[in-house]
Structure 1
Amino acid sequence: MSQIADNISNIRQEITKTCMKLGKKTEEVHLIAVTKTIEPERINEAIACGITDIGENKVQEVINKYDLVSPVNWHMIGHLQTNKVKYIIDKVKLIHSLDRISLAEEIQKRAERINRSIDVLIQVNIGQEETKSGIEPESVHNFIEALQTFSHIRVKGLMTVAPYEEDPEKVRIYFKAMREIFEKIRAKKLSGIEMKYLSMGMTNDYKVAIEEGANMIRIGTAIFGSRIYR
């Protein structure tokens, strides 16, 4: 077994253990392998080990790797510039980082041109950090209601990047807050809005995120090791 295969196996075991404690089915938690800076060869190795979904932070990396990677579901998980939507609109299964109306308008325009509906998650800046993108927690409801008029955008849930803490217990409060927002929106039963995915939790805190309701987790370092930035 390779290191990547070992790592994926270990993560799946941890997901299973966490789900068993909660009385949840393991398959309810969707694992996205974050492939920022990772070479196509290593991504393909992860896919051969059963990874079906990969997440990229930058549009350029999607473009560069798209034809070199085995068939897989692509997720745009990083901040998305409006002028780069056109490059990934026909490539990604899910955009995790919708956080402003101008971006929604561009997604709508590009989606209309290819006659396709685009699935998105609303990114919430739950820690209200100046360095992070996302809608402020108190603005999420109004933002989602405004998106009901976009015929080619399908809202499928929420995403957040919690503040980093060495001790994952310290971010539990943020995951709890996200779950509360998620459930309140779900209870409204808004037309065209589906609260299906709650995307939160990364290498350091994914177990706590699952305990607090995450059903989509984004893991890079625990699969591929520490990144080497060039």
Structure 2
Amino acid sequence: MAEQLTGEPMGVAEQVSHIKQRIAAAALKARRSPDEVTLVAVTKYATAQQIHELIAAGVRDLGESRVQQMQSHIDEVNGWLASGSAPSSGAALPTPHELRWHMIGHLQRNKANQAISLACCIHSIDSLRIAEEINELAARLDQPVKVLMEVNTSGEASKFGVSVPAATHLCEQIETMGNLSLVGLMTMAPQTNDLEKARYCFGLLRELFEEIRFHKMAGEQFEHLSMGMSGDFEVAIEEGATLVRIGSALFGPPPTQTPTETAGNTNKSA
């Protein structure tokens, strides 16, 4: 999280501007257009006021790792938007339908129905079982679902995701499901200060993405690489990311967790 010249932490609007500048610089360094990269603000640890400021600053894509928290934040934000409270910046606010909520966390089967109704897309399809469950639910709801396949490019046992060798087969299976639209791949690099380790994981996902496109294993809608978080998003953009999931760089570090909480929550910190 950046600070102003005075040493004081930046407000949310300033952080959004700062992050967008860094996104643009990383894209231009890779000879890409900044418009190719979407900021998905991870609001897991954000307060209601911070989310209001985020939306007032123009962010329209928000990510959550738990369905219950997504529902809670959506309800709170929709109530705020309905109240007509104008932000001090004078910025025009969106309608609820103009906000896009992304499900970025591991999805339990008993939460799949709720996730389908709330999320614009689900980033974490990592098994045939969960893909079939969502496909069946989507058929009952008559609501096609955009999904990304999560790949464990680091090989860490603590992370979710289909293994790299099994990824193309799962991709082909998902493509046979009439109510799922496979729009891309997602991964999470190791939590390390060595950005080259992160680059390796991101490059591996990009190579897999290119292989799937080359062999036409997915349709024309297959166009996204969801990779990169607060500590490594610039490297991810250099490797082709189109969706970067950023939380702590916008809102500050998460509250201190107990060892038990940390062990159950290592997969989607941003």
* TM exceeding 0.5: yes
Is 1:91 paired with 2:99? no
SS in 2 for 1:210: helix
Is 1:162 paired with 2:195? no
- In 2, the alpha carbon distance for the partners of 1:229 and 1:34 equals 17
SS in 1 for 2:153: coil
The answer for unaligned runs of 5 or more in structure 2 is 5-9, 79-95, 258-270
- In 1, the alpha carbon distance for the partners of 2:197 and 2:121 equals 29
Bigger shift: residues 187-196 or 205-214: 187-196
Is 1:205 paired with 2:232? yes
Is 1:185 paired with 2:212? yes
Seen in structure 2, the aligned counterparts of structure 1 residues 192 and 169 have a Cα distance that, compared at 3 Å, is: closer
* Matched positions, count: 230
SS in 2 for 1:202: coil
SS in 2 for 1:66: helix
Task: Report the Cα offset of residue 176 of structure 1.
Answer: 1.0
Mapping 1:73-88, distance limit 5 Å: 73-88=100-115
Mapping 1:63-142, distance limit 5 Å: 63-70=71-78, 71=96, 72-142=99-169
Bigger shift: residues 162-171 or 95-104: 162-171
- In 2, the alpha carbon distance for the partners of 1:171 and 1:101 equals 27
AA aligned opposite 2:169: N
- In 1, the alpha carbon distance for the partners of 2:124 and 2:107 equals 7
Task: Report the Cα offset of residue 22 of structure 1.
Answer: 2.0
Taking structure 1 as the reference length, what is the TM-score of the superposition?
0.95
Name the structure 2 match of 1:56.
64
Name the structure 1 match of 2:26.
18
Taking structure 2 as the reference length, what is the TM-score of the superposition?
0.82
- In 2, the alpha carbon distance for the partners of 1:199 and 1:213 equals 9
Name the structure 1 match of 2:199.
172
Name the structure 2 match of 1:214.
241
Is 1:46 paired with 2:54? yes
Task: Report the Cα offset of residue 31 of structure 1.
Answer: 0.6
The answer for unaligned runs of 5 or more in structure 1 is none
Name the structure 2 match of 1:35.
43
Task: Report the Cα offset of residue 195 of structure 1.
Answer: 2.5
SS in 2 for 1:119: strand
SS in 2 for 1:104: helix
Task: Report the Cα offset of residue 41 of structure 1.
Answer: 2.4
- In 2, the alpha carbon distance for the partners of 1:156 and 1:229 equals 35
Match of 2:172 among 142, 145, 148: 145
1:116-136 CA distance string (max 9 Å, x none): 110000000000110110000
- In 1, the alpha carbon distance for the partners of 2:234 and 2:218 equals 32
AA aligned opposite 2:122: I
- In 1, the alpha carbon distance for the partners of 2:238 and 2:247 equals 20
Seen in structure 2, the aligned counterparts of structure 1 residues 16 and 193 have a Cα distance that, compared at 3 Å, is: closer
Task: Report the Cα offset of residue 190 of structure 1.
Answer: 2.8
AA aligned opposite 1:67: D
AA aligned opposite 2:252: G
Task: Report the Cα offset of residue 191 of structure 1.
Answer: 5.3
